[in-house]
Amino acid sequence: MKEFVEVKIISAVKGLLTGRVNEILDDVPFSIPSIEFTNYDGASSTVPEVRLVSCESGEKERIVRQDVYLLTVSFSVPQSPESGLFCFAYAHALCRAVRENPALGGAADRVVVAGKKYVYPKTPYKGEAEGLAVTLRVTVEGAGL
SS (HEC) of 96-129: HHHHHCCCHHHCCCEEEEEEEEEECCCCCCCCCC
Identify the DSSP state of 4: P
Q: How many CA atoms lie within 13 A of 31 on its CB side?
A: 3
Q: Which residue would you say has higher pLDDT here, 128 or 40?
A: 128
Which residues, at least 6 apart from 54, have a Cβ–Cβ distance to it below 8 Å? 69, 70
Instruction: Give phi and psi for 4, each to the nearest 5.
Output: -65, 145
Confidence of residue 103 (pLDDT cuts 50, 70, 90): very high
pLDDT range class, residue 1, cuts 50, 70, 90: very low
| pLDDT value at 12 more than 90 | yes
Residue-range domains of the chain with CATH: 5-141 (3.30.70.1700)
CB 145 within 8 A of CB 65: yes
- Whole-model pTM: value is 0.88
Q: Which amino acid is at 85?
A: L
Q: What is the pLDDT of residues 106-115, one digit of tens each?
A: 999 999 999 9
